[in-house]
Amino acid sequence: MNQQVKLAARPVGMVQKTDFSFETADQPTARDGEVLIETIYVSLDPAMRGWMNDSRSYIKPVQIGEVFRAGTAGRVVASQHPGFQVGDHVTGSWGVQQFAVSNGKDLIKVDTQVAPLATYLATLGMPGMTAYFGLLNTGQPQPGETVVVSGAAGAVGSVVGQIAKIKGCRVVGIAGGQDKCEYCVSELGFDACVDYKNGDLRKQLKAACPDGIDVYFDNVGGDILDVVLGQIKFKSRIVVCGAISQYNNDTPVKGPSNYLSLLVNRARMEGIVVFDNAAHYSEAAVQMAQWIDQGTLASKVHVVEGIENFYETLMMLFTGKNFGKLLLKVDHS
Amino acid sequence: MNQQVKLAARPVGMVQKTDFSFETADQPTARDGEVLIETIYVSLDPAMRGWMNDSRSYIKPVQIGEVFRAGTAGRVVASQHPGFQVGDHVTGSWGVQQFAVSNGKDLIKVDTQVAPLATYLATLGMPGMTAYFGLLNTGQPQPGETVVVSGAAGAVGSVVGQIAKIKGCRVVGIAGGQDKCEYCVSELGFDACVDYKNGDLRKQLKAACPDGIDVYFDNVGGDILDVVLGQIKFKSRIVVCGAISQYNNDTPVKGPSNYLSLLVNRARMEGIVVFDNAAHYSEAAVQMAQWIDQGTLASKVHVVEGIENFYETLMMLFTGKNFGKLLLKVDHS
C-alpha cells in the first residue's frame, strides 16, 4: 500500500490538520521506462505554506486533492529504466507519499558515500542552494563586511552564515532561543548570534553590529526586518528569501515600516527564488561538498519519524520547534 | 532688511505654520572674497519635510532657529569676489531668505540665455538630476519596457516619464486629478496616466499596463506602492525616490504589505539620493538641455509670489495642489 498526504483545503491563517487528508492508495508499479521509488525522507520547508495558497507566485499552487508537493529522497525499489538500478539513491520532488513512480527525468542520482542521504535535502539540496546563490549573487558580501542572517540555525540560515564566514565577513545570526544561538556561535563559527525571543532585539543587534549591517539575508520578515532596516549601512543589500513570521497571518502581511531606510542608505532589497539557478546547482554542490569535506561547512538535521506525523512536523517550522533541517523519515528501515 | 524663514519647531505629523518663524534681519554685506545675492526663487520640495525631523538621514536636519534650508536661485547684487559680477545669476542652497552672503564655493553661475532661471531649479536642477540618475542608473529601463512613475505631473515625475519615453519605453503616470493626467499624456507624451483619486487604481493600472510593470519610480509610497507591487514583472526594478504620502504621518510609515512580490518576481527595490551623482551633474545638464532644445523634454513651473507665503506654498506639495515644479518668487522685480 502507499500512504499519501494530499491537500484537502486551502488554509486561511494558520494551517489546520484538516487542510490535509491522509489516504492510502495501491502501491504503484513501474512500467517500461519507469522506476519505482520508496521514499526515505520528505523535506519540510517554510515555502510549503505558500504552495497551499491559490495565488500567483513563483510556482503553481498545489491543487486540492493532489499529493502535497515536497522535496524527497529515496531508493529505487524496482526499475524498468536503463539509467537506474534497484538500490540507487535518488532525490526529487515526488511529494508526501511512501512510494512514487517516475520516468527518471526529475530524479537526481546521489552518492551516499560522498554525503549522507539527508544532506542531499539540506546543504546539498534546495536549502543549501538557496543560501549559496542568494548570499553570493544577490547579497554580494565583501571581505570585512557585516552579514546578518535570520533563521540563523535553520537549514538556509546556517549555510548562509557559514559561507559568509568563508568569504571573510563578520557574521551575526538572529535565532529564537539560547540553544540555537549557542549552536551558531560554538559549532558554526558565527561571530555572534542574537536571541530575538530574549530582550531588546534592537539593542542586542546594535551591540553585535557596532558598525552597522552591510548584508541582511532575511528568512523571517515582520518586526525583525524592521529592526534590521534601522541598522543598515550605506549601499547595503537585503536578500528577501522568505518571511516565515508572516505566512500564517490571517491579516495582511506586515510591510516593512522602515523601508525608507533603503532611501536614506541608498540600499537595495531584492527577492530570490532558488530555481533560477538550476543551471548552476552542480557547481555549487561541488563547492559545498568540498567545504563540508574540509570541515568548514557543518549542518544539523532534525528527523521526525512517520508519514502520519506530517502535519505536526510541518507545524514545528512555524513555531520554531525544529533545530536544523527538518525531515520526515517515511520508510521503516 | 532681510526677511527670513527659520525653523521654529519640529512637527509631529502635519507641518504647522508655527513650526516656522518669519523674521527680519539686517541686510548682510559682502566682505572681501564674498558676494551678496538677492534671492529670486526658492525651491519647494517634498524632501523639506524630512529635513525638519531630528533623525538620521542622508543629510543633517535643519536646526531650530536656523534659516530653513532650500534650493535657491538669485542674482548677484554686490561682489567682492573676482569670479562673480553684479547681475550674474546663480543657484545654490542659501535657504528661505531674501538676501544671502556667500564665498562663492557653493554657488553655480547659470546662463539665463540658455534656459529661464526657474529651469535651473527644475529640470536642470535637483528634481531633474534626481529623475535622470534615479531612472537611468537605478531603474535601468530598456527599450520596450513599461515604466510607471507616481507624482507623474510633478517636478521629478514629469522628467522621469519623458526620459523613459526618450529611451523607448512605454510610460504610464500616476497622478492626482484629471488635469494632471491629461497634461502627462497630451503635453508630455506619456502613453497613459491613471488618476489615483478617481476610481479603482488597481484596475486602471492593470488596464494601462496589460503586460505588467518593469520599472516603477516611486515618489509617493503608501497604498499606491502596494498596488504597483502587485503588478510588477519578473526582474523588475523599483526606484525609491520618496514617499510623500507618508511624510506627515503621526503614525508609523505604512510599509509595503506587498513587498513579498519582490521575492515572487525576483525584483529589486532600491533607494536613491541625488547628491551621490554630484560629479556627473554637468553631463546630465548638458544632455537635458539638449533634449529641452529639441523639444522632447518639457516642464511646467508653478510660481507663488511672496516669501510671506512660504508655509502655505509648502503645504500645497502635501495636498497635491501644485501643478508643476513649485517655486516661491521672493524678489519684487
Confidence of residue A56 (pLDDT cuts 50, 70, 90): confident
Q: Options 3.90.180.10, 3.60.15.10, 1.10.1740.10, 3.30.930.10; which CATH number does A2-121+299-329 get?
A: 3.90.180.10
Could you tell me which chain B residue has the CA closest to the CA of A247?
B260
Q: Quote the minimal CA–CA distance from B139 to chain A in Å.
A: 12
Among B138, B238, B266, the strongest candidate for a mutation testing the A interface, having the largest count of A CBs within 10 A, is: B266
Q: Contact A63/A7 with Cβ under 8 angstroms?
A: yes
Confidence of residue A128 (pLDDT cuts 50, 70, 90): very high
Q: Contact B184/B193 with Cβ under 8 angstroms?
A: yes
**Angle formed by the axes of helices B281-294 and B157-166, nearest 10°:** 70
Using a CB-CB cut-off of 8 Å, the residues of chain B touching A242 are: 263
Q: What is the pLDDT of residue B56?
A: 86
> Pick from A300, A278, A308: which is nearest to A118 by CA?
A300
Residue B255's CB is within 10 A of a number of other CB atoms, namely 22
SS3 content of chain A, % helix, strand, coil (to 5): 30, 25, 45
Using a CB-CB cut-off of 8 Å, the residues of chain A touching B255 are: 226, 254-259
Q: Do A263 and B254 touch (CB under 8 A)?
A: no
Q: Which long-range contacts (CB under 8 A, 24 or more apart) does A207-211 make?
A: A208/A172, A209/A146, A209/A148, A209/A170, A209/A172, A211/A146
Q: Which residues pair with A327 in a beta bridge?
A: A43, A303
Q: What is the pLDDT of residue A175?
A: 98
**Chain center to CA of A214:** 23
**Could you state, in order of their start, the residue ranges of all structural domains in chain B?**
2-121+299-329, 126-275
Confidence of residue B332 (pLDDT cuts 50, 70, 90): confident
Tell which B residues from 11 to 70 touch A, by Cβ distance under 8 Å.
56-58
Q: Do A276 and B266 touch (CB under 8 A)?
A: yes
Could you tell me which chain B residue has the CA closest to the CA of A240?
B263
Mean pLDDT for B97-107 is 97
Q: What is the pLDDT of residue A100?
A: 98
CA distance A326 to B25: 71
Average pLDDT score, chain A:
96
Amino acid making up residue A256: P
Strands B35-43 and B72-79, bridge-based pairing: antiparallel
Q: What percent of chain B has pLDDT over 90?
A: 97
Report yes or no: A266 at the B interface, CB cutoff 8 Å: yes
As a dihedral over the C-alpha atoms of residue B58, residue B63, residue B64, residue B67, rounded to 10 degrees, the angle is -100
Q: Locate cell 530598456: which residue?
A: B142
CB pairs under 8 A between A and B: 109
Tell which A residues from 275 to 314 touch B, by Cβ distance under 8 Å.
276
Using a CB-CB cut-off of 8 Å, the residues of chain B touching A272 are: 263, 266
Residue B286's CB is within 10 A of a number of other CB atoms, namely 10
pLDDT tens by residue, A132-172: 999 999 999 999 999 999 999 999 999 999 999 999 999 99
Q: What is the pLDDT of residue B223?
A: 97
pLDDT tens by residue, B38-94: 999 999 999 999 999 998 899 999 999 999 999 999 999 999 999 999 999 999 999
CA distance A270 to A244: 17
Q: Quote the minimal CA–CA distance from A286 to chain B in Å.
A: 25
At B237, give phi and psi (nearest 5°): -125, 130
- Considering only CB atoms, A262 lies closest to which of B265, B266, B269, namely B269
Q: What is the pLDDT of residue A332?
A: 78
Q: Do B243 and A264 touch (CB under 8 A)?
A: no
Q: What is the pLDDT of residue A310?
A: 98
- Considering only CB atoms, B257 lies closest to which of A255, A266, A268, namely A255
Distances A294 to A82, A129, B21 between C-alpha atoms, Å: 35, 18, 68
Could you tell me which chain B residue has the CA closest to the CA of A271?
B263
Report yes or no: B254 at the A interface, CB cutoff 8 Å: yes
Using a CB-CB cut-off of 8 Å, the residues of chain A touching B268 are: 268-271
CA distance B81 to B310: 31
Using a CB-CB cut-off of 8 Å, the residues of chain B touching A273 are: 263-264, 266
Using a CB-CB cut-off of 8 Å, the residues of chain B touching A58 are: 263-266
Q: Locate cell 563578520: which residue?
A: A170
Using a CB-CB cut-off of 8 Å, the residues of chain B touching A266 are: 58, 270-273, 276
Q: Quote the minimal CA–CA distance from B235 to chain A in Å.
A: 9
CA distance B43 to B96: 9
Q: What would the grid cell of residue A77 be?
A: 525499489
Q: Contact B289/B124 with Cβ under 8 angstroms?
A: yes
Q: Do B259 and A256 touch (CB under 8 A)?
A: yes
- Considering only CB atoms, A266 lies closest to which of B243, B265, B276, namely B276
Q: What percent of chain B has pLDDT over 70?
A: 100
Q: What is the ipTM of this complex?
A: 0.94
Report yes or no: B244 at the A interface, CB cutoff 8 Å: no
Among B264, B265, B277, the strongest candidate for a mutation testing the A interface, having the largest count of A CBs within 10 A, is: B264
Q: Which residues pair with B326 in a beta bridge?
A: B302
Q: Do A58 and B242 touch (CB under 8 A)?
A: no
Q: Do A263 and B241 touch (CB under 8 A)?
A: yes
CA distance B234 to B227: 16
Mean pLDDT for A18-46 is 97
Mean pLDDT for B180-191 is 98
Report yes or no: B142 at the A interface, CB cutoff 8 Å: no
- Considering only CB atoms, A255 lies closest to which of B58, B240, B256, namely B256
Could you tell me which chain A residue has the CA closest to the CA of B253?
A257
Burial A16-31 (b: 16+ CB within 10 A, else e): eeebbeeeeeeebebe
Tell which A residues from 195 to 234 touch B, by Cβ distance under 8 Å.
221, 226
Burial B29-59 (b: 16+ CB within 10 A, else e): ebeeebbbbbbbbbbbbbbbbbbbeeeebbe
Report yes or no: B263 at the A interface, CB cutoff 8 Å: yes
Fold of A126-275: Rossmann fold (3.40.50)
- Which residues have a Cβ under 8 Å from the Cβ of A17 and sit 6 or more positions away? A311
Q: What percent of chain A has pLDDT over 70?
A: 100
pTM: 0.95
Q: What percent of chain A has pLDDT over 90?
A: 97
Could you tell me which chain A residue has the CA closest to the CA of B59?
A264
Can you list the alpha helix ranges (DSSP code H) found in A134-260? Answer: 157-166, 178-182, 201-208, 222-229
- Considering only CB atoms, B270 lies closest to which of A256, A264, A268, namely A268
Instruction: Using alpha carbons only, give the angle A16, A125, A311 rounded to the nearest 5 degrees.
Output: 15
Q: Do B263 and A272 touch (CB under 8 A)?
A: yes
Residue A210's CB is within 10 A of a number of other CB atoms, namely 9
Using a CB-CB cut-off of 8 Å, the residues of chain B touching A256 are: 255-256, 259
B244, pLDDT greater than 90: yes
CA distance A59 to A64: 15
Q: Contact B106/B92 with Cβ under 8 angstroms?
A: yes
> Pick from B278, B36, B257: which is nearest to A225 by CA?
B257
pLDDT tens by residue, A215-229: 999 999 999 999 999
Q: What would the grid cell of residue B255 be?
A: 510599509
Could you tell me which chain B residue has the CA closest to the CA of A269?
B269
Report yes or no: B268 at the A interface, CB cutoff 8 Å: yes
- Reduced 3-state DSSP string for A68-93: CCCCEEEEEEEECCCCCCCCCEEEEC
Residue A244 C-beta-side C-alpha neighbours within 13 Å: 23
